[in-house]
Amino acid sequence: MERQIYQARWVFPVNGPPLEDGIVEIEGTRIAAVYGGAHSRAIDLGNVALIPGLVNAHTHLEFSQLRAPLEPAAPFTDWIRAIMKSRFETEQPVTERIQQGISECLSSGTTTVGEIATSEESLRLFNAESQVPRAVVFRECLGFTPDRKAGQEQVAAAFLEEPIRPEALQRLFPGLSPHAPYSVHPDLYLNLVQQARDQGVPVAIHLGETSAEYDLLERKEGAFVDLLSELGLWDPEILQDGMRMTDYLAPLAELPAALAVHGNYFGPPEWEFLQGAPAISVVYCPRTHHYFGHPAHPWLTMIEQGINVALGTDSRASNPDLSLWKELLFLREICPQVPTELILECGTLAGARALGFAEETGSLEVGKAADLALIQLPEEAGGGTGSDLLLDSRSDVARVMLNGVWIN
């Protein structure tokens, strides 16, 4: 099999410094070499950068039909009411919506996804297709009252038994997602985490998304009590007195991998816990965070403390699109002091670590899957460094390679 050999103005391996006039050699579905220099048979891609395929560590593809985020953005519980209404009123089949989201992710440079699913359809679509991102599909489970416990445990068990084609075994894994503290009974949460531990699969849970979560857990008051009461689900005996966010983090530390999604209001107690729990990653969704008007996210503080922070788009219910690339550009805009290489790592290797794919993808290293994104750089940018050019607002994803094959 003849090697594909490409030269780009810049190559960003992520596991090392950027390479000017870099070469990437691909043999079959794998990266065979990455270096700076020249090769007589290299195809010159021109004024572009080659980066690892992006990793969207948190999204809900079932909302991919939405053309704009749902309103109102505040208070958050009113947005949840809008989500429930949207699910009830949507007529487009869920399979079409998920497929639409998969296509959008790929076209914008994402080759690995952490998908939250409310049915088996996501897993079946990722399982049936060959040109789809590698994925962890987390089955979402909800049930705040004791009567939902057994049913949701059965749903989770059945999902984990869904067959996966042999051809997909290295790129597709199931997981579980107890939704959030305000929507999952504590006993159900612990049992789902135990199921995941027994099966050796990852867990994703929305934590620290709003300050109202802390009101609910610590004082049994606030907007979530009002919402649960409105739905006929509130019982103050369900939650123990004086619960803390770390009570939800602690069970995750015993898993091989877990995602604490959002973490918008994590502070010193959560940071200290996470420092001692390397299996737990935090997933920050920058534009969704901005849409809801939260205070500045502590992602940099957490990274400084050794916590793995990945990036996600959340869904089109809170984001104008599913482009992880645009999340990187947004971070550059709001955090101009942060090195390009760190932002890129959050959108690639950190996400691969979070989802358990770090041995396969997330960086351009020999032996890893040939999942790449080709970024067109601005023509008039002159002699800037690769770090200056990559996240220029005019740069954009032009092509995507999946397992050694250009798909567009």
pLDDT tens sequence across 186-241: 999 999 999 999 999 999 999 999 999 999 999 999 999 999 999 999 999 999 99
User: Quick one: pLDDT band at residue 269, thresholds 50, 70, 90?
Assistant: very high
Distance CA 202, CA 176 (A): 7
Are 82 and 331 in contact by the 8 Å Cβ rule? The answer is no
67-86 pLDDT tens trace: 999 999 999 999 999 999 99
How confident is the model at residue 382, as a pLDDT? 53
279-295 pLDDT tens trace: 999 999 999 999 999 99
Distance CA 375, CA 51 (A): 8
State the number of CA atoms in the 13 A half-sphere of 333 facing the CB.
Answer: 11
For residue 33, which of 22, 41, 24 has the smallest C-alpha distance?
24
Q: Is 212 helix (H, G, I), strand (E, B) or coil?
A: helix
pLDDT surpassing 80 at residue 380: no
14-59 pLDDT tens trace: 999 999 999 999 999 999 999 999 999 999 999 999 999 999 999 9
User: Quick one: pLDDT band at residue 129, thresholds 50, 70, 90?
Assistant: confident
- Name the amino acid, one letter, at 351: G
Distance CA 390, CA 393 (A): 9
Residue 46 neighbours by CB distance under 10 Å: 13
pLDDT surpassing 90 at residue 140: yes
- Rg of the Cα atoms in the chain: 21
For residue 118, which of 89, 144, 91, 95 has the smallest C-alpha distance?
95
pLDDT surpassing 70 at residue 91: yes
Q: Is 392 helix (H, G, I), strand (E, B) or coil?
A: coil
For residue 281, which of 136, 95, 150 has the smallest C-alpha distance?
136
User: Quick one: pLDDT band at residue 2, thresholds 50, 70, 90?
Assistant: confident
| Range 359-384 burial, b when 16+ CB lie within 10 A, else e | ebbbbbbeebbbbbbbbbbeeeeeee
107-116 pLDDT tens trace: 999 999 999 9
Mean pLDDT across the chain, nearest whole number? 96
Q: How big is the CA angle at 259 (ends 368 and 211), to the nearest 5 degrees?
A: 145
Mean per-residue pLDDT for 238-262? 97
Q: How big is the CA angle at 348 (ends 253 and 272), to the nearest 5 degrees?
A: 30
Choice between 316 and 382, residue whose per-residue pLDDT is larger:
316
Give, as one character, the DSSP assignment of residue 219: I
Mean per-residue pLDDT for 321-344? 98
How confident is the model at residue 250, as a pLDDT? 98
Are 85 and 62 in contact by the 8 Å Cβ rule? The answer is no
Are 101 and 122 in contact by the 8 Å Cβ rule? The answer is no
**Token pair 């299996």 in the structure block, residue:** 279
146-175 pLDDT tens trace: 998 889 999 999 999 999 999 998 899 999
How confident is the model at residue 230, as a pLDDT? 96
Q: How many residues does the chain have?
A: 408
How confident is the model at residue 130, as a pLDDT? 80
Are 403 and 172 in contact by the 8 Å Cβ rule? The answer is no
Distance CA 321, CA 386 (A): 26
Q: Is the pTM of this model over 0.85?
A: yes
Mean per-residue pLDDT for 321-339? 97
